[in-house]
Amino acid sequence: MGQRKLLRVLDGETVFPPPIWLMRQAGRYLPEYRETRARAGGFLDLCYNPDFATEVTLQPIRRFGFDAAILFSDILVIPDALHRGVRFEAGEGPRMEPIRPAEIQDLDPSDADTHLAPVIATVARLRAELPEETTLIGFCGAPWTVATYMIAGRGTPDQAPARLFGYRNPEEMRALLFLLAEMSADYLVRQLQAGADCVQIFDSWSGVLDEASFEAYAVAPVARIVEKVRAAVPGAKIIGFPKGAGALLSTYRQKTGVDALGLDWGVPLSFARELQAQGAVQGNLDPLRLIAGGQALEEGVRAILDGLGQGPLVFNLGHGITPDAPIAHVEALLRLVRGG
Ligand code: CP3
């Protein structure tokens, strides 16, 4: 296990060419994903069916031979386990019942273990079916990002409803984030015990928080998750992805204790190199360079390999791959990275 490339990098080793995987690598840009998704029915039916979820997780591994597979599920299975009425309507993104401050004390996590059991079953199936050398990544959403959906009831451009909720109801906000942190830690522990090699915590919307809110809502709950996961699984390897955190990335790593930092494409490579002196980094190609292909793709890959290839690096995009990504460009990306 120790020799899986991505785990060596999380341990601080430099591996060149670097291991590569892509956030959202199982998804709508693949015709085989669209086919399985149509057979599964709804998106959540896909997440909770171990046969279908295993199949779509393996699809990008079979097609491209990425160094890591990421469990197929969604960050919103946690609010779903809290009975928030989560649904995914075609072409519209996620919806759920917006939560009011007074409802937070009544949230009941007692069904979560049962509710999430099919996802854990998928993890076990995946470890048995994946090639020996492929790292299996489990994941959860960070409490702040999950809360932005629970509060607004949907995705929002600037997460204003959740930010206002936090300023107006700081106690309830903290209670919500710490409930989510406890549940997420238990969920990650079960993934690791079922066979995940490491886990990633997605904080897609941490970039909208001011410094004090970042500390309270992005750092503190994730530090709690890391502490609780490592108490149950000593030495658990954890990647934090606080998208948009910018200058706060360094303190995020120090205070949360994550092993690796996921970087978005706005992080300058010179700053990324300083962060790399403290431990592994992951990223950070602009997903639009992958759409454009050609010279834009080549230059973007070259800059990252030149800038970060001499330290512990996991090659990835700076955010998820989008449905319009051409398969030929993903193949070109792999050739560019693996050609060194
Ligand atoms: O990376 C992977 O391949 C693993 C699977 C995965 C999905 N979502 C599958 C998915 C992971 C790790 C996620 C994380 C996730 N989900 C995040 C954090 C990462 C990020 O991208 O910022 C967030 C914010 C969500 C919430 C979510 N799920 C949204 C906003 C949407 C709709 C947006 C869209 O692209 O339609 C989803 C749906 C979703 N999750 C899809 C996939 C493949 C598309 C649904 C479909 O097939 O119709």
Alpha carbon nearest to ligand 1 atom 34, residue: 93
Do residues 176 and 100 touch, judged by C-beta distance below 8 A?
no
Q: Catalytic site residues?
A: 24, 28, 37, 74, 149
Instruction: Tell me, in angstroms, the distance from the centre of ligand 1 to residue 66's CA.
Output: 19
The rounded distance, in Å, linking the Cα atoms of 274 and 43 is 40
What is the pLDDT at residue 340? 62
Instruction: Tell me, in angstroms, the distance from the centre of ligand 1 to residue 263's CA.
Output: 18
Ligand 1 pocket, residues with Cβ under 6 angstroms = 23-28, 37, 43, 70, 72, 74-76, 88, 93-94, 139, 141, 145, 155, 202, 204, 320
- Going along the chain, which residue ranges are E strands? 68-70, 87-89, 93-95, 135-141, 198-203, 238-242, 260-262, 280-285, 313-317
Structure-token pair, residue 157:
């451009």
Q: pTM for this structure? A: 0.97
Alpha carbon nearest to ligand 1 atom 43, residue: 27
What is the pLDDT at residue 314? 98
Tens of pLDDT, residue by residue over 117-160, are 999 999 999 999 999 999 999 999 999 999 999 999 999 999 99
Per-residue pLDDT of the chain (340 residues), as tens digits, is 458 999 999 999 999 999 999 999 999 999 999 999 999 999 999 999 999 999 999 999 999 999 999 999 999 999 999 999 999 987 789 999 999 999 999 999 999 999 999 999 999 999 999 999 999 999 999 999 999 999 999 999 999 999 999 999 999 999 999 999 999 999 999 999 999 999 999 999 999 999 999 999 999 999 999 999 999 999 999 999 999 999 999 999 999 999 999 999 999 999 999 999 999 999 999 999 999 999 999 999 999 999 999 999 999 999 999 999 999 999 999 999 999 6
Instruction: Tell me, in angstroms, the distance from the centre of ligand 1 to residue 116's CA.
Output: 17
The rounded distance, in Å, linking the Cα atoms of 16 and 280 is 13
Tens of pLDDT, residue by residue over 67-107, are 999 999 999 999 999 999 999 987 789 999 999 999 999 99
Structure-token pair, residue 271:
């700053």
Instruction: Tell me, in angstroms, the distance from the centre of ligand 1 to residue 50's CA.
Output: 17
* Residue of 24, 148, 150 to mutate, ligand 1, most atoms within 8 A of C-beta: 24
Instruction: Tell me, in angstroms, the distance from the centre of ligand 1 to residue 307's CA.
Output: 29
Alpha carbon nearest to ligand 1 atom 21, residue: 320
* Residue of 36, 75, 137, 324 to mutate, ligand 1, most atoms within 8 A of C-beta: 75
What's the burial of 28, exposed, middle or buried (CB within 10 Å: 0-12/13-18/19+)? middle
What is the pLDDT at residue 2? 52
Ligand 1 atom nearest the C-alpha of 47 is 9
Alpha carbon nearest to ligand 1 atom 17, residue: 75
What is the pLDDT at residue 229? 98
Ligand 1 atom nearest the C-alpha of 91 is 36
Instruction: Tell me, in angstroms, the distance from the centre of ligand 1 to residue 277's CA.
Output: 31
What is the pLDDT at residue 92? 86
CATH T-level fold of 5-338: TIM Barrel (3.20.20)
Half-sphere exposure of 231 (CA within 13 A, CB side): 9
